[in-house]
Amino acid sequence: MSELTSTSRHQQAARALACLDLTSLNLDDTPERIDALCDRALVPAPGIEIHPAAVCIYPRFVGQARSRVHSAGIAVAAVANFPLGTAPIGEVIEEVEQALADGADEIDVVFPFRAFLAGDREAGAELLRRVGLICHQHTALLKVILETGVLHEASTIKEAAQIAVDNGADFLKTSTGKLEPAATPEAAQALLEVIVAARGHRSLGLKVAGGVKTVAEAAAYLDLADRYLHPDQAVPSNFRFGASGLLNDIVAVLGSSHDTQLSSDY
């Protein structure tokens, strides 16, 4: 895409912040680190009044995060079957039920992508049917992490995405951010094509997660989503970024500073 003007950089930074799932998914996360994440979500930097759409964390921190951010209108997203996508279905169901009981608004569940690549189409369908039913009973969003970098081919990505759509997904998400490659424009485009094909039957969103660290990179994905979602634009109800490091560049572009630098999980 062409170089952004200062005005368009500011506008795209503001849009990216509103669509951001501010994330901490480190194995050594602590309550103190989650408090810091919530602090950053509540006040991204002095003078910035836009909040991220959500914080995305491990399920054990849901209650803590909800108590911190929910009154500000920031959703709490919990991951499940994360990051390998290989947990027994019973364990995933327990994980999801506990996260929802603790107050999660959204569940980001990893699709069993390795089983899918091995030829098992039913494992993913069954998992998502059951998780989707529980999420929707709690009016929670179901975001399905497809690990598009491993699925690789556009046709394979689309086939897995269609299974997700057919079994309750509200958002299609590119990646866990733990494997390379993570998000790519090509993978995002493949998912957007599935989303557009479902229009008229269901309203779906896209979450781009993995390696998006600058406003320029975010703007390219926003432009891509705008083209596919036309006449609508990419907004938090149909588009998200999964990131932590991206916030640092957003703050810089919006003209503020903040001493806290969160390590990038995505």
pLDDT digit string, tens, across residues 187-218: 999 999 999 999 988 899 999 999 999 999 99
Residue 14 is assigned to a structural domain of this protein = yes
Question: Band of the pLDDT at 257, cuts 50, 70, 90?
Answer: very low
Residue 1 is assigned to a structural domain of this protein = no
Residue 265 is assigned to a structural domain of this protein = no
Average pLDDT over residues 14-27: 97
Confidence check: pLDDT of 83 > 70: yes
Distance between CA atoms of residues 189 and 154, nearest Å = 9
Domain count for the chain, please give it.
Answer: 1
Confidence check: pLDDT of 7 > 80: no
- Provide the CATH number for the domain around residue 24: 3.20.20.70
* Cβ contacts of 83-89, under 8 Å, gap ≥ 24: 83/25, 83/110, 83/176, 83/178, 83/179, 84/110, 84/114, 85/110, 85/111, 85/112, 85/113, 85/114, 85/115, 85/145, 85/147, 86/112, 86/114, 86/115, 89/126, 89/127, 89/130
Q: Domain span at residue 184?
A: 6-253
Distance between CA atoms of residues 195 and 185, nearest Å = 15
Whether the model clears a pTM of 0.85, i.e. scores above it, the answer is: yes
* Residue 199: per-residue pLDDT: 92
Check if the beta carbon of residue 29 is closer than 8 Å to that of residue 57.
yes
Residue 39 is assigned to a structural domain of this protein = yes
Confidence check: pLDDT of 261 > 60: no
* Residue 3: per-residue pLDDT: 65
> Cis peptide leading into 83, omega within 30 of 0?
yes
- In 3D space, the residue among 219, 217, 148 whose CA is nearest the CA of residue 189 turns out to be 148
Residue 266 is assigned to a structural domain of this protein = no
Catalytic residues: 108, 173, 207
Count of helix runs (H) and strand runs (E) in the chain: 11, 8
Count of beta carbons in the 10 Å neighbourhood of residue 263: 9
Residue 138 is assigned to a structural domain of this protein = yes
Average pLDDT over residues 86-102: 98
The DSSP 8-state label assigned to residue 20 in this structure reads E
Residue 263 is assigned to a structural domain of this protein = no
Count of beta carbons in the 10 Å neighbourhood of residue 227: 11
Residue 261 is assigned to a structural domain of this protein = no
